[in-house]
Structure 1
Amino acid sequence: MRLHPLSVSLALGLCPFAALAAPDGAVDATAPALAEFDRVVVTATRTERAIVDVPNTVDVIDRARMDATLVRDIADLFRYEPGVTVGRNVGRFGLSDIRIRGLGGNRVRIQTDGIAVSDAFSIGSFSNANRNFVDPDTLKRVEVVRGPTSSLYGSDALGGVVSFVTKDPSDYLDDGRDAYFGFKLGATTADEGLFANATAAFGGARWSGLVAVGHRQGKETETMGEVGGEGSARTQANPQSTNGRSVLAKAVFAPDARQRFRLTVEGNEDDVETDVLTSYGFQAMTRATNTQVLGDDHQSRVRVSFGHEIDGLSWALADAVDWQVYRQDSRTRQDSLEARNVPATQMTSALRDRRERSFFFDQRTYGVQANARKTFETGSVVHTLAYGLDVEVAETRQKRDGLRTILDTGAVTNVISPDVFPVRDFPISDTTKAALYVQDEIAFADGAVRLVPAIRVDHYRLKPKVDTIFREDNPSTQVADIRKTRVSPKLGAVWHFAEAWSLFGGYAAGFRAPPYNDVNIGFTNFAFGYTAIPNPDLRPETSDGLELGLRFAGRSAYAGLTGYYNRYDDFIESTRFVGIDPDSGLMIFQSQNVADARIWGVEFKGGLDLDVLAPALTGWSLRGAAAWSRGEDRTTGDPLASVDPLTAALGLAFDGDTWGAELAGRFAARRDRLPPASTAVGYRETPGHAVLDLYAHWTFAPGTTVNVGVLNLADRKYWPAGNVPLVAAASTTFDRYTAPGRSLAVSFAVDF
């Protein structure tokens, strides 16, 4: 792995941090100031551990940080986390996936309270089910584990884990408090958004509960494009109307100080109506002229879980046990309407045509999780053993439907070429995932050295159910059951070689089971001469990751530098051309294991309390982060488009007793490593940018806080990495993918 000059400069930068942290040479690593690496996390090891004792790169965003930066969605959530990117489908479907170190989609596990959210799936221009199923106002903390994490979380943790942790009654009921009520109102100008949420908690000796409700509404998120009107030349955002709701309810029963029973009900839904003006006008592919294109999209997720935690046990195999059972339902419905004028041909006269399409993607999941922990000693070595099981059963249904109406004659048909509706692009699929894992945290040398071996065995089964809809569209397609078993090992280590310094790193394996839509995809289009066929021989996608890092956690400073190298094998390329059927003459497409990729890079995160320089700077602090990475498709030697260029964030903040402010910068280098295009023109490079944001908060009365943020303070035109697809270099609509100009966000919160 070649080192970038950035990594060298960051490594050299660690030494000044150490000097500034303790000019007299005495560093107290347990002091409370700037305790970024002292934060307790759970996701990385499934046990409560301070980041300084975790052999992974972990990011934590807590409730206070979300409030201070006025987080409204997942894009806001990761705005200052270089190396973590949120994708956006500009035009209609909005926020899509979360990429970690260049890997996204269903290759990153996204979970809420340990339960994975539903999959993403898209096909064609009118169907795009995403994974944006969380309201940040229901969260108390977000943890991100970068790199392969299949040894603890199995399939879909190929690129990492994003773990959303929801609020609990105990977060509001402390110091003997038996009731709490708070509400928040806010607005944003970038999308003319309004939001409101309220949280109530109550508690007694044994029972406690919490209810949090939220509402949000707005319009399209602005771009800095200047071309309006209708048609493909438009660069302004398409008009939208958005509204959403969320609810989180918890009831907790603690029969004694050692155990807690918890019932959770969580729901989130969003509705978006879009006037897709960019699709109006003449369409070269269909030769028709669109006079109206409307989208009406709805998505929802509901989860019910019941769990039990008990600690202080004296069992031979466990000191603490927790388990939960759950059911989760997610649903995406997207309705599209096209009104078009079709020109006359030699065979047909001109006509007015209305096409109505509906797309459905539903998942229902049942699961059980159980975890146990046991601490014991063998001589001078302390073991913290964690083990458990995960079982998940899911049913996935996808369907596309449609009607075509000839307005001049009133004729109605379910044929919209090349489809005869309704259709399924894969059969109804039952998937079962069952896994056992075990991890041992081995501490010796008085805790200065910690080894963390782990292993997980996953069994995956796919069982398709062919119904009439799928069979009518695929009369000869033979679908397949598959069974796969995979062993994922991991070995991590942490060495506290000095009072405030530590080295960490190790090896981790990752995998992703073959998806149902790739194994059993099926459709045939005789008019265009092609067919897609299943592939029961698909192998799991796999990864091998190496990581090495250096941390400093001092009295007034912290810093961490990490280098990583990930190798990905057997990536699945969906619907790849594989040949011609000699009997029918149809072109054959099939999903296959073809890709071999490498992603490597360097990441830095650090902070400094400036009062170490002078007492007059008490309350002032500096924090920063940077990520540099490279990705390569080893089968072709081409760069990976999903890997971001050098990105960084830097913030200068003041926190006083009643008010505070922060000037935060976001920076990105030019995106110039792009795969070759199919034409000589090539793809458009994305310019680099430097954007400043300003935040302030004021607690002008007990429990009453105003937060204000001015984003893109200098009103710069820039293109966020998650917004920009591969665009032809000669494109005249590149401004369509720009972020908003200067915008304001404000919230008013009251706690009782």
Structure 2
Amino acid sequence: MRPHPLSAALGLAFGLAAVPPALSAGPLVDPAARDHDRVVVTATRTERLILDVPNTVDVIDRGRMDELLVRDVADLFRYEPGITVTRGFGRFGIGDIRVRGLGGNRVRILTDGVPVSDAFSIGSFSSANRNFVDPDTLKRVEVVRGPTSSLYGSDALGGVVAFITKDPSDYLEDGRSSHLGLRLGAESDRDGFGASATGAFGGGRWSGLVNVGHRQGRETGNRGSDDSIGAARTRPNPQRSDGRSLLSRLVFAPTAGQRFRLTVEGNEDSADTDMLTSRGLQAMTGATNTLVLARDHQTRARVSFAHELDSPVAGFADALDWQVYRQDSETTQDTLEERITGAGAPERRERSFNFDQRSHGLQANALKQFSTGNAEHALTWGLDLQRTDTRQKRDGRVTDLLTGASSNAMLPDVFPVRDFPVSRTDTAALYAQDEIVLAGGAFRLVPALRLDRYELKPEADPIFTGDNPGVPLSGLTHTQASPKLGMVWRFQPDWSLFASYAHGFRAPPYNDVNIGFTNTMFGYTAIPNPDLRPETSRGFEAGIRHTGRALHASMTGYHNRYEDFIESMRFIGFNDEGLMVYQSQNVAEARIYGAELKAGVELGALLSPAWKGWSVQGAAAWSRGDDRTAHVPLDSIDPLTATLGIAYATGTWGAELIGRAADARSRVSSDTLFQAPGHAVLDLYAHWQLSPQLRLDAGIRNLADRKYWGAGNLPQALAGTSNTVDRYTAPGRSFALSLAVAF
């Protein structure tokens, strides 16, 4: 048996460190930049002020996470219109992150530069998500909206979400040699409790950090009122959840411009659910479920070794970083079902779903700065190699509770089965980007190109071939070029115009290329499609930004066209045996366009010193999306969404009132779908620095106890006539508290 991923991480927990940093941009960053000017990394792979990047970028730092009492990714993006975190009812909880209407595996999610594993789901008993991060291990999150394949390759159709974890240097400032921090937190909407501890040390050349966390809770509440047992239930199913995380790092800096980093990171979550909604008579089978219990468990572990060099390297680079990594993730979901069949026989059904993905890779990035005439260049190029092994399996057994006889035949399946063969994917990529600075720094031209080679190698193991006799397996090799051209014009020191045109792509997924099963009893079969083409996008966006002493603001408009979207399991006709044939195919084209606004005002700097400490900030996102094949709206597009907050802060305490609002969900693909009404919700936060070592944060969410449906909570196919729409309501008024101690 292979070792448990988290066990491997815990076994290496002492002596660990960070991952690929951004290449230093040196003099191309304005040395006179004010402290409140944001510096971002993900947009160009170099440290740049937001004013100087040709993309729309969101940044959430550690301080903001603490103020908003962030406990999961849903909290993290609560006040970011245009970014939606989905949440399922009943069992599986947080799902994916949607950026500008695209989610799932069409958004690249990175942790310290390492891609997070894929999402995969099939049926009602199996759903592997990508929720593998503990926000308490993060120091910053950056989101690049729109196609970003020119730097990050496949799966970056919708954008990139980059999680950047803590580093020893974040705690060892002003000559400190050690740090110890403890944090306790609680929230009422799920009776949750969390605790974490962070220790850091540093000397002349060595520094290190260890962060451990634990969290537990119950089901997240909603405004459903039906507490019955069965399909009519709208209250959440009873659930107990438990999780833990580890981040440990060791940093060795032999010189001022050189660092070696070793990191071991792990995350583990479990949930036990009493599926009350699944009890009672089942219309499709005629059986009556008397008990349905679920246990879900997921882990992710990463080990990486990185080297950063800020000084010139043999004349071909002014800065260089590289890292090697290994990452294992696994989702296991077990379901126990006891029922009375339509014939009156009692039986027990046990199902188990497993999705296992293990990857290792090498990344290298170099920066060379030079001049040609009146132009300054920051030429960045790099290499990205990754091998990923993916396996999925469903198993099960049915037991007659009268005779004790058991069988692995649980129609329509004879277990174990795989819905796609064990698959190995190899990717190799080269990228290059030149940031050309003209007119004394007022104008930047940023061309970029990435070449990706993708190779899929399926394995005909006994489980897949036994369930799919005679079904051929198809390998796949594809090479894709992803160009981009960006422009930034600083027409005033604190103002910039930007525009970009970019191509994005997503390689055909292993489960679509080789999806395969045959069920003669129900008269259908699925066949592979070795001719699938990559999903592609062409995107344009333009905007204006301002960062001043009193005001910062940005406004962006974008238009993205997507082609060759893959429709899984599409009916294509009948075969010679009379079976219905299904195959994944490139069929869909889509268009998504919209506008986004974000602004903040320091009232003391704008009006008078009497308003010192007061600030206002807000954001809004409007978008439209159309399926240009079916000629209907895209249901993944959120309605107009906005946030507005007013805050007051002194050196020791502060408070903030934030409003969240969304328009009605009136633009859907069918008039039969549920159209959620618009809503407006108020949240209140406060923090107190009780002493240099002690901080208290508190929050009240949904202050007025409003009943509403958040876009991420709604299934896209929810019928308007459903009598269980209250299942998908957000929690009512809830409270959150955090106490942090630092030494």
**TM-score band, normalised by shorter chain:** over 0.9
1:286, distance to aligned residue in structure 2 (A): 0.7
Structure 2 vs 1, CA of residues 603 and 29 (structure 1 numbering), >3 Å: closer, same or farther?
farther
The amino acid of 1:585's aligned partner reads G
Residue 597 of structure 2 corresponds to which residue in structure 1? 604
Matched, 1:369 2:360: no
Whole-Å Cα distance in 2 between the matches of residues 288 and 600 of structure 1?
47
C-alpha contact (below 8 Å) 2:51/2:495 kept by paired residues:
no
1:32, distance to aligned residue in structure 2 (A): 4.0
Matched, 1:507 2:506: no
1:330 partner SS? strand
Whole-Å Cα distance in 1 between the matches of residues 610 and 519 of structure 2?
74
Per-residue CA deviations over 1:434-454 (Å, capped at 9, x if unaligned) read 000000000010100001000
Matched, 1:43 2:42: yes
Whole-Å Cα distance in 2 between the matches of residues 545 and 277 of structure 1?
45
Residue 705 of structure 1 corresponds to which residue in structure 2? 695
Residue 579 of structure 2 corresponds to which residue in structure 1? 586
Aligned partner (choices 482, 489, 504) of residue 495 of structure 1: 489
Structure 2 vs 1, CA of residues 132 and 435 (structure 1 numbering), >3 Å: closer, same or farther?
same
Matched, 1:390 2:384: yes
1:614, distance to aligned residue in structure 2 (A): 2.5
**Which of 689-698 and 608-617 deviates more?**
608-617
Aligned partner (choices 468, 479, 483) of residue 485 of structure 1: 479
C-alpha contact (below 8 Å) 2:81/2:621 kept by paired residues:
yes
1:505, distance to aligned residue in structure 2 (A): 1.1
Whole-Å Cα distance in 1 between the matches of residues 502 and 278 of structure 2?
45
Whole-Å Cα distance in 2 between the matches of residues 30 and 558 of structure 1?
17
Residue 5 of structure 2 corresponds to which residue in structure 1? none
Residue 688 of structure 1 corresponds to which residue in structure 2? 678
Whole-Å Cα distance in 2 between the matches of residues 115 and 604 of structure 1?
30
**Pairing 1:561-572 to 2, within 5 Å after superposition:** 561-572=555-566
Residue 123 of structure 2 corresponds to which residue in structure 1? 124
1:314, distance to aligned residue in structure 2 (A): 5.5
**Which of 325-334 and 372-381 deviates more?**
372-381
**Pairing 1:598-677 to 2, within 5 Å after superposition:** 598-611=591-604, 612-676=606-670
Whole-Å Cα distance in 2 between the matches of residues 321 and 567 of structure 1?
35
Q: TM-score scaled to structure 1, two decimals?
A: 0.94
The amino acid of 2:697's aligned partner reads N
Whole-Å Cα distance in 1 between the matches of residues 669 and 139 of structure 2?
40
Whole-Å Cα distance in 1 between the matches of residues 670 and 313 of structure 2?
62
Matched, 1:328 2:321: no
Residue 87 of structure 1 corresponds to which residue in structure 2? 86
The amino acid of 1:622's aligned partner reads V
Residue 734 of structure 2 corresponds to which residue in structure 1? 743
Residue 350 of structure 2 corresponds to which residue in structure 1? 356
1:316, distance to aligned residue in structure 2 (A): 2.4
The amino acid of 1:366's aligned partner reads H
1:31, distance to aligned residue in structure 2 (A): 7.2
**Which of 310-319 and 174-183 deviates more?**
310-319
Whole-Å Cα distance in 1 between the matches of residues 89 and 714 of structure 2?
8
Residue 451 of structure 2 corresponds to which residue in structure 1? 457
Whole-Å Cα distance in 1 between the matches of residues 269 and 234 of structure 2?
25
Residue 7 of structure 2 corresponds to which residue in structure 1? none
Matched, 1:112 2:103: no
Residue 20 of structure 1 corresponds to which residue in structure 2? none
The amino acid of 2:615's aligned partner reads S
Whole-Å Cα distance in 1 between the matches of residues 687 and 353 of structure 2?
44
Residue 429 of structure 2 corresponds to which residue in structure 1? 435
Whole-Å Cα distance in 2 between the matches of residues 30 and 339 of structure 1?
69
Matched, 1:315 2:314: yes
Number of equivalences = 712
Whole-Å Cα distance in 2 between the matches of residues 733 and 343 of structure 1?
26
Residue 10 of structure 2 corresponds to which residue in structure 1? none
Residue 217 of structure 2 corresponds to which residue in structure 1? 218
1:89, distance to aligned residue in structure 2 (A): 1.2
1:742, distance to aligned residue in structure 2 (A): 0.3
Whole-Å Cα distance in 1 between the matches of residues 547 and 177 of structure 2?
37
1:137 partner SS? helix
Per-residue CA deviations over 1:554-575 (Å, capped at 9, x if unaligned) read 1100111100000000000000
Whole-Å Cα distance in 2 between the matches of residues 313 and 437 of structure 1?
20
C-alpha contact (below 8 Å) 2:285/2:342 kept by paired residues:
no
Per-residue CA deviations over 1:697-743 (Å, capped at 9, x if unaligned) read 00111121000000000000011100101211111111100111000
C-alpha contact (below 8 Å) 1:298/1:332 kept by paired residues:
yes
Runs of 5+ consecutive residues of structure 2 not aligned to the other structure = 1-29
The amino acid of 1:293's aligned partner reads V
Runs of 5+ consecutive residues of structure 1 not aligned to the other structure = 1-27, 345-349
Matched, 1:560 2:554: yes
The amino acid of 1:742's aligned partner reads R
C-alpha contact (below 8 Å) 1:685/1:729 kept by paired residues:
yes
Whole-Å Cα distance in 2 between the matches of residues 465 and 694 of structure 1?
54
Matched, 1:303 2:302: yes
Whole-Å Cα distance in 2 between the matches of residues 326 and 728 of structure 1?
45
Matched, 1:186 2:177: no
Aligned partner (choices 401, 406, 410) of residue 407 of structure 1: 401
1:170 partner SS? helix
Aligned partner (choices 700, 703, 723) of residue 732 of structure 1: 723
C-alpha contact (below 8 Å) 1:533/1:590 kept by paired residues:
yes
Percent sequence identity over aligned pairs: 66
The amino acid of 2:59's aligned partner reads V
1:497 partner SS? strand
C-alpha contact (below 8 Å) 1:426/1:522 kept by paired residues:
yes
C-alpha contact (below 8 Å) 1:29/1:500 kept by paired residues:
no
Residue 9 of structure 2 corresponds to which residue in structure 1? none
Whole-Å Cα distance in 2 between the matches of residues 134 and 615 of structure 1?
42
Structure 2 vs 1, CA of residues 30 and 225 (structure 1 numbering), >3 Å: closer, same or farther?
farther
2:440 partner SS? coil
Residue 4 of structure 2 corresponds to which residue in structure 1? none
1:82 partner SS? coil
Aligned partner (choices 521, 525, 530) of residue 519 of structure 2: 525
C-alpha contact (below 8 Å) 2:658/2:684 kept by paired residues:
yes
Whole-Å Cα distance in 1 between the matches of residues 256 and 32 of structure 2?
28
The amino acid of 1:441's aligned partner reads E
Per-residue CA deviations over 1:572-609 (Å, capped at 9, x if unaligned) read 0000000000x210000000000000000000000000
1:371, distance to aligned residue in structure 2 (A): 0.2
Residue 17 of structure 2 corresponds to which residue in structure 1? none
1:544, distance to aligned residue in structure 2 (A): 0.2
Q: TM-score scaled to structure 2, two decimals?
A: 0.95
1:29, distance to aligned residue in structure 2 (A): 12
The amino acid of 1:523's aligned partner reads F
Residue 22 of structure 2 corresponds to which residue in structure 1? none
2:348 partner SS? strand
1:410, distance to aligned residue in structure 2 (A): 1.1
1:714 partner SS? coil
1:108, distance to aligned residue in structure 2 (A): 0.2
Residue 293 of structure 2 corresponds to which residue in structure 1? 294
Whole-Å Cα distance in 1 between the matches of residues 94 and 277 of structure 2?
18
Residue 577 of structure 1 corresponds to which residue in structure 2? 571
2:65 partner SS? helix
The amino acid of 1:388's aligned partner reads G
C-alpha contact (below 8 Å) 2:313/2:320 kept by paired residues:
no
Residue 3 of structure 1 corresponds to which residue in structure 2? none
Whole-Å Cα distance in 1 between the matches of residues 628 and 571 of structure 2?
20
Per-residue CA deviations over 1:47-93 (Å, capped at 9, x if unaligned) read 01111100000000000000000000000000000000001111100
C-alpha contact (below 8 Å) 1:30/1:555 kept by paired residues:
no
Residue 9 of structure 1 corresponds to which residue in structure 2? none
